[in-house]
């Protein structure tokens, strides 16, 4: 079968248009702040008028939701792509570093993914599921290395890494005061799990 049906072409065009809107929204959020996002400004970047956005999204929150889903999808693909070292301790270090760098690279993205900064916004179940699955898959991959973590242990790990991220953003944005502590924190955690020491 060559080519596509007419209806799938239409779907593609719709998706492309939605994608352009979400891209523009990220642009605005990065320049003006996540909460300062306005439909007029987003529309202007896309090259249309504000009301036209309603042909693609039911509300402003629906745009936030698409941004949320996209951000976690991006992280999911990024983290699927990294090659984990066989040694559990080194693997944990890389996982932590990947997440830390991803979160400290982009404040509005971090706020949307990991904090509840936008008044009244909660991700839809479908979007939240992407976030859950991203972490589940990382957890499954470390399990393949023989590192089986309980749910509590995963929660402790995410709290530790996201704590460093938040302190970095809140108290030393652009610096490295908590960045420098990441490996040490992971080692503390690995010691807690009684993971064997490894040659660096």
Partner DNA sequence: GTCTATAGTTTGATAGAC
Partner DNA sequence: GTCTATCAAACTATAGAC
Write the DSSP symbol of residue 87: S
Shortest separation between residue 125's beta carbon and DNA, angstroms: 20
State which of residues 22, 29, 37, 134 lies at the interface with DNA (CB under 7 A): 37
10 touches DNA by CB under 7 A:
yes
H helical segments located in 33-124: 39-46, 60-81, 88-104, 107-114
Q: Which is nearer to DNA, 81 or 119 (CB)?
A: 119
Residues in 57-76 that interact with DNA by CB under 7 A? 59-61
Shortest separation between residue 101's beta carbon and a second copy, angstroms: 16
CA dihedral 65, 70, 72, 74 (to 10 degrees): -170
Partner whose binding site includes residue 56, from a second copy, DNA, none (CB under 5 to 8 Å by kind): DNA
C-alpha 10/C-alpha 143 separation (Å) is 42
Segments of the chain assigned E as strands: none
Partner whose binding site includes residue 29, from DNA, a second copy, none (CB under 5 to 8 Å by kind): none
Residues in 14-33 that interact with DNA by CB under 7 A? 14, 17
Partner whose binding site includes residue 156, from a second copy, DNA, none (CB under 5 to 8 Å by kind): a second copy
Q: Which is nearer to DNA, 111 or 139 (CB)?
A: 111
- Using alpha carbons, select from 101, 42, 48, 47 the residue that is nearest to residue 66: 42
Instruction: Provide the CA 102 distance to its chain's centre, in angstroms.
Output: 7
Report whether 63 contacts 21 (CB < 8 A).
yes
Shortest separation between residue 119's beta carbon and a second copy, angstroms: 4
Residue 197 burial (CB < 10 Å; 0-12/13-18/19+)? exposed
Shortest separation between residue 160's beta carbon and a second copy, angstroms: 6
Binding site for DNA (CB under 7 A): 10, 13-14, 17, 37-41, 43, 47-52, 54-56, 59-61
């Amino acid at each position: 079968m060559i080519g596509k049906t007419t209806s799938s072409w239409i779907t593609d065009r719709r998706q492309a248009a939605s994608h352009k809107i979400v891209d523009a929204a990220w642009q605005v959020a990065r320049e003006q702040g996540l909460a300062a996002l306005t439909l007029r400004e987003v529309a202007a970047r896309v090259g249309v008028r504000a009301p036209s956005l309603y042909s693609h999204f039911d509300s402003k929150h629906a745009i936030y939701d698409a941004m949320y889903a996209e951000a976690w999808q991006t992280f999911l693909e990024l983290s699927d792509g990294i090659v984990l070292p066989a040694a559990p301790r080194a693997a944990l270090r890389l996982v932590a570093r990947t997440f830390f760098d991803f979160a400290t690279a982009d404040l509005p993205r971090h706020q949307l993914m990991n904090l509840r900064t936008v008044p009244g916004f909660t991700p839809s179940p479908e979007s939240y599921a992407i976030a859950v699955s991203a972490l589940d898959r990382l957890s499954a991959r470390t399990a393949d290395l023989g590192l089986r973590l309980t749910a509590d242990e995963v929660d402790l790990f995410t709290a530790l890494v996201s704590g460093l991220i938040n302190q970095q953003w809140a108290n030393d944005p652009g610096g490295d005061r908590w960045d420098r502590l990441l490996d040490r924190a992971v080692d503390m955690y690995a010691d807690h799990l009684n993971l064997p020491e490894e040659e660096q």
